[in-house]
Amino acid sequence: MGELLRLLDAKMSFAQKRWQARGRIQMPQKNTVNTLDRNSSPPFHGTVALVTGASRGIGRAIALRLAKLGAAVSICGRDAQALTASEAELKKLGAPVYSQIADVSQSRDVTALVDKTRAALGPISILVNNAGLGLFGPTHEKTEAEWDRVLNSNLKSAFLASRAVAPTMIQRGGGDIINISSLAGRNAFAGGGIYCASKWGLQGLSACMAEDLRGYGIRVSVICPGSVATEFSGHNRKDPSKVLSPEDVAHAVEMIVTQSPQSFLSEIQLRPLHKP
Ligand SMILES: NC(=O)c1ccc[n+]([C@@H]2O[C@H](COP(=O)([O-])OP(=O)(O)OC[C@H]3O[C@@H](n4cnc5c(N)ncnc54)[C@H](OP(=O)(O)O)[C@@H]3O)[C@@H](O)[C@H]2O)c1
């Protein structure tokens, strides 16, 4: 019995030693931390992230979270005043920041945004396609202009920005493209026709681009939040205990970018715990 225990003990310490050795190899790599050691230097120091639609709401919370993780952050939006306020908050964290007024539904704006980000901060390793808008009501009552506005802002924008960053990510052998979809990209409801079309489209785009790019070490993932307390569609007037906060979505982004390199969290569905 004593001999058996000694053998078991020897085996266990061997396993522990091997586990520690694996930890030592993985921890120093960028983008490889599973749990963040808050006392060490920020894990994304030297990493460049571009967050679209970061002048307020979810995009601003994501940009702040990435800056807290040490990333240099580029942000865009169309409202100059709100964008300047986001930029100031990011700078308070000591993050290198680039901000540009840009309409992400316009190819020219997106190309300029990506080129100028690269020139100001370096090559982009994390792209968060967040910019978007909501427009609801019976689809048969909507105009062609409304269809174009929603589809171009919510779906075409992700195509334009992803296509602009992908070649450099391919060259560098990795990156994260994170698309902010919605539970409306998974469900149908009356009055949701145009918005759901944009988000279901974004789900399809994300899944196909994920297959195109995973061989290059690039993860294209999608986050599908339920109701989030932002200015979007007046959600900020709801009971805050029954909606998500923008920081909850930022936390999901953190989960994606801090995975180990062999892991691919392809979709996160995020709901308020308590039903409205
Ligand atoms: N809030 C929710 O309940 C909820 C739930 C699920 C998913 N989402 C998605 O989350 C994303 C962010 O929504 P949010 O709740 O944070 O909304 P929000 O508070 O209205 O913020 C939207 C952001 O997108 C920007 N934006 C919109 N169209 C743009 C364009 N064409 N070019 C550049 N920037 C543009 C806005 O900036 P400017 O106005 O300055 O251009 C703003 O910074 C959207 O894709 C939305 O569909 C939201």
Phi-psi domain of 137 (left: phi exceeds 0; alpha: psi -120 through 50; beta: other): left
What is the structure's pLDDT at 5?
Answer: 36
Domain boundaries, the chain: 45-270
165: CA distance to ligand 1 center in Å?
21
Could you tell me if 72 and 47 are in contact, meaning their C-beta atoms sit under 8 angstroms apart? yes
Determine the distance from the C-alpha atom of residue 65 to the mean position of all C-alpha atoms in its chain, rounded to a whole number: 10
For the chain, give the number of residues: 276
Is residue 195 flagged as an active site residue? Answer: yes
Nearest to 212 by CA among 254, 172, 169: 169
What is the structure's pLDDT at 40?
Answer: 66
What is the structure's pLDDT at 189?
Answer: 97
What is the structure's pLDDT at 233?
Answer: 62
> How many other CB atoms are there within 10 angstroms of residue 35's CB atom?
7
What is the structure's pLDDT at 232?
Answer: 87
Q: Is the pTM of this model over 0.75?
A: yes
DSSP character at residue 153: I
Ligand 1 is surrounded, with C-beta below 6 A, by: 52-59, 76-79, 82, 102-105, 130-134, 153-154, 180, 182, 225, 227-228, 230-232, 235
Could you tell me if 52 and 130 are in contact, meaning their C-beta atoms sit under 8 angstroms apart? yes
What is the structure's pLDDT at 7?
Answer: 39
184: CA distance to ligand 1 center in Å?
14
Q: Give 178's strand partners.
A: 128, 221
> How many other CB atoms are there within 10 angstroms of residue 143's CB atom?
8
56: CA distance to ligand 1 center in Å?
8
What is the structure's pLDDT at 234?
Answer: 62
Q: Report the CATH fold assignment for 45-270.
A: Rossmann fold (3.40.50)
Q: What b-and-e string marks burial along 10-23, b requiring 16 or more CB atoms within 10 Å of the CB?
A: eeeeeeeeeeeeee
Measured CA to CA, the distance from residue 137 to residue 133 in angstroms comes to: 14
At 19-29, the pLDDT tens digits run 232 222 233 33
User: In the chain, which stretches have pLDDT less than 50?
Assistant: 1-36, 38
What is the structure's pLDDT at 275?
Answer: 85
Q: Please state the atom number of ligand 1 nearest to the C-alpha of residue 57.
A: 16
